[in-house]
Every structure is written in C-alpha cells, then in structure tokens.
Amino acid sequence: MRRHLVQLFEKDGDIKTSAVRNGVEALRALDEFDPDVITLDINMPEMDGLTCLSRIMVQRPKPVVMVSSLTEQGAEATFEALQLGAVDFVHKPDGTMSRDILRIERELLLKVRSAATTTVRRSRGLANRMVERRSSRPTRVEPALPPLPRDKLGIVLVGVSTGGPGTLEEILPLLPAGFPWPVVIAQHMPASFTGVFARRLATLCQVPVTEVTRQTVLEGSNVYIARGDADIVFTKTVLGMMALPAPASANHLWHPSVTRMVESAMNALPPDRLIGVLLTGMGDDGAKAMTTLRTRGGRTIAQDEATSVVFGMPGELVRLRGADAVLPSSAISNHLTSWLAPVAAMRTTAEARHGSR
C-alpha cells in the first residue's frame, strides 16, 4: 500500500526525511522531530491534510508544501490550504491515488528547498497567512511618476508564481470598480486550477474576474487570469485588443509564461501603454522582459522582499534595475491607481490647492 506523503525535512547538509502515514502520525512526529519543511497530502485517512495543516499552523507553524490532485475538488482544497498558511503546492500527475509521485520529484524538490528559506506566522486567519522571508532588505520606492492618460488603451501585466494566490487575494480586491485598464495575470498554475482560482477571486474583487479560455476582447475594469498549462498572447483586431490562450512554448520553463506574455504585449501595443507588475515567485520568469519594457518607456513594479513568499522573480527585476517602484503587496493597487488617475481630476485638485493658498 502506498504511504501517504507527509515528509519532514532537515537542512543539515543533505535532505533528511521522515515519512508517516496520516495527519495524526504527522502531528505526533512533530513532538519528536523538528522539521524545516513539511510536505502534506490533502487526501489522507484518519485526519485529512487540511485539518492537519490547520493544527500545524496553530500549534507549531512550519513551511508546508501541499500535494494535491488535479481535480476541481483538489483545486478548491489547495486554495483553502494556501489560505490556512501553506507556502506552495505541487500536483499529482494522475489524480488522487497516483503511484507515480516520482514524476513530480524535480518540482517538489525545488519547492521544498524554496520553502526552507521562509518562515511562517502562527495562523490567525486570512489576514495573517502571509509567509515572510527570514531576511529582508529595506523597501525602495522610486520618485513618483506622473499619471498616465487613462483615456487610451493600455494593459496591466502581472506575473506571479510561488505564493501568488494569497498575494493576489491581497492586491486585487483593492482595485476600485472604475479601474480604467484591464489587468492580465500569468500565475504559474495547472489548467484545472486557474478556472477555480478566477471564480474565487471574483467573489473577493470589485471588478469582474474571468479565466481566458478562448479569444477574448480586453475591457477596462476587468481582471483576466491566463489559463494554466498554456501561455497567453495578444493581438489587435477591429474589435479591439484581444487576449487568447496559446499552446505552452517549449522555450519557456514555467506556464503561463510571464516572459512570453510581456513580449507579446509589447508587440501589440506601444510600451508606454503597458505596466508590468512582477510578484512573488521562484526563478526569474518575466524579469528580463519587464526590464526591456521599462527601457522602452513602459512602467514596472516589483513586490518587495519583506512581503514576497519567494523573492526570486521580483528580486531579479530589482537586480536588473528594471523596477520603477519596489513596493509591499499592500501598496501595489494604490500605486497602480495613482498612475492611472484621471488627468482632469489631478488638475482640479492641484488648482484647488493653489487657490487655497
């Protein structure tokens, strides 16, 4: 019989593991073995993964990577786990009872090593689920840039990976209902998860949120989630700017590819009609493309290290000097809104201040 995956990791040189059969045994093992990372199967006998996770986050918070099936039910449970405090997830390739866990070995090891660099707060609900890096650098904010004319077509391009669902749930609900430009998001995620994620975000946001499953006309005051296991590209038509899913490119490691999304947008619109936002995630997907975007006249934001689950993607954008602003997640929506503030309103405010002197 396959043992359920509940592994505990130490970082003394080589990775050491201890596997147990269910959540009850995992909680008991925590009293004897102090792990740096736990991988936790959502489906387990006696005590399921979500119950075990909630107990871990209250009793002895640890970085946890969830292992889930590719079903819609598995996606819902995974997002609940991320809300409870899990750092990341990997999916089993063949469903709940998959015996072929070795097929995801590389991804699992990458995410476990990444999780080992994070610390977690004791779970106290939705507002406190954010994972923080053990070391952080001061937030750097560039001088404020003038607002962009909101009466011209533009797109906000968001790239995100590890830690993305929780981070997006903090940022997107703060966008006002009248936010003028469409927001397109490439979140590294399997196809069976992105639709569930879009519906989840739609219940939290003031603007509509949809998954891009076919050619779609982009409209302002809307958020679009790129379909998982594919890429998203753009084209101009007589109907307007279109976004459409494309087969995952073999030239890019992660999908939906942030790099391909940004490059396609620059081919479809002038760079000064684009804003790039690079959020938490492993690796460097999108960093070079957004640096090019800024060089050509676009604007960019990198999430800061203190609020990133993993500072890889935004950190690379900062290293390349490709960020106009480096901001905590809580400030990003307001910054975007200030860049797209109505020019007339800005003038009226300035004139009122001048007249009161």
* Catalytic member of 68, 114, 161, 333: 161
- What is the pLDDT, as a whole number, of residue 160? 98
* Catalytic member of 36, 41, 284, 285: 285
- What is the pLDDT, as a whole number, of residue 96? 46
pLDDT, mean of each 10-residue run, the chain (357 residues): 55 67 86 85 86 91 87 86 91 58 75 80 42 40 57 90 94 95 96 95 97 96 97 94 96 95 97 97 96 98 95 97 97 95 45 45
DSSP 149: P
* Catalytic member of 4, 88, 123, 188: 188
- Pair type for strands 183-187 and 155-160: parallel
CATH number for the region 6-133 comes to: 3.40.50.2300
Annotated catalytic, 188? yes
Judge if 6-133 and 155-343 fold alike in CATH terms.
yes
User: Can you read off the two tokens belonging to residue 108?
Assistant: 């699992």
CATH number for the region 155-343 comes to: 3.40.50.180
- What is the pLDDT, as a whole number, of residue 144? 56
Measured CA to CA, the distance from residue 298 to residue 300 in angstroms comes to 7
- What is the pLDDT, as a whole number, of residue 8? 67
* Cα separation values, 208 from 116, 198, 329, 337, 348, Å: 36, 9, 20, 17, 30
Annotated catalytic, 36? no
- What is the pLDDT, as a whole number, of residue 101? 60
Q: Where are the domains of the chain?
A: 6-133, 155-343
Handedness of CA 79, 164, 104, 41 (dihedral sign): negative
